[in-house]
A and B are shown apart, each in its own frame.
Chain A
């Protein structure tokens, strides 16, 4: 029973490792290349994740629940939306780094809409990324895509909030998703 649980919990990792194992026998050169490609992300993970965990823990400790409810809650209005875009845009790192932070914020009262805004802008709207985009694709392209993306996030964050309305997120935000976080 316990091994079965263990397998089920790590199914994705096992599948990935299996793919590597198969590739090892068929095309060993591709394994080397894949590991090389992964190195960039492993570095990113090692650099960013500890900072995000510490930041999440500190914010959790320092900012009282009613404050988060007031600034990011359902009734925070335009100010909450702007603040969410700001948090997402100023962040660093891959989108999965945003998961523990957003789970914590939601537990302390941040609305679904604002969580979606933070997650989505975390992925798409970054100043260094925008500069890079302007460099390769032109200022007009970058500006237009930025504007449309912000509009899209505004619209679909509201839709997500409606879809979720009567279905609260998992209570424990999953202990795994927030691993390493003090409660």
Chain B
């Protein structure tokens, strides 16, 4: 358990360095809404940024006139789906549970984002 968590923590540091949140935001803001939404959801899946960094960045995105849809997709997958924690979750709950929970969270994150886009 400790070795798993240590590897997760070290992986997060590496990912934050190679894919800095601000670079992600810049990239997402230059794409079409659809591509941006899928891309933002995927990026949210592989990164695990603390919320207190994610919210201000998303705030600047939305303020800059980027649609709320990719922003919401990013925020939701960021916290709910985690590639780095997959091995640990799989060991605790089994492959089937882990696959179901993460896949469904990902799908619903995009759904939430689309509904937010309509309602905001």
Contact = CB atoms under 8 A, between A and B. Distances in A.
B9 A34 contact: no
Interface in A116-148: 116, 119-120, 123-124, 126, 129, 132-133, 135-137, 140-141, 144-145, 148
Interface of A: 10, 12-13, 16-17, 19-20, 23, 30, 33-42, 45, 49, 94-96, 99-100, 102-103, 106, 112, 115-116, 119-120, 123-124, 126, 129, 132-133, 135-137, 140-141, 144-145, 148-149, 152-153, 155-156, 159-160, 163-164, 167, 169-170, 173-174, 176-180
Given A100-B92, A149-B112, A155-B108, A38 B9 contact: yes
B12 interface: yes
B18 to A, nearest CB: 7
Contacts of B62: 137, 141
| Interface residues of chain B: helix, strand, loop or mixed (majority) | helix
A42 to B, nearest CB: 5
B16 A37 contact: yes
B47 to A, nearest CB: 11
A19 B14 contact: yes
A144 B55 contact: no
A160 B101 contact: yes
Range of interface residues on B (Cβ < 8 Å):
35 or more
A111 B89 CA distance: 17
A12 B7 contact: yes
Interface in B75-120: 75-76, 79-80, 82, 85, 87-89, 91-94, 96-97, 100-101, 104-105, 107-109, 111-112, 115-116, 119-120
A41 B13 contact: yes
Interface in B3-59: 3-14, 16-18, 48, 50-52, 55-56, 58-59
Given A34-B14, A140-B120, A177-B88, A103 B9 contact: no
A138 B80 CA distance: 21
Given A38-B12, A103-B93, A16 B7 contact: yes
Contact of A120 (B68, B87, B101): B101
Contact of A141 (B5, B14, B68): B68
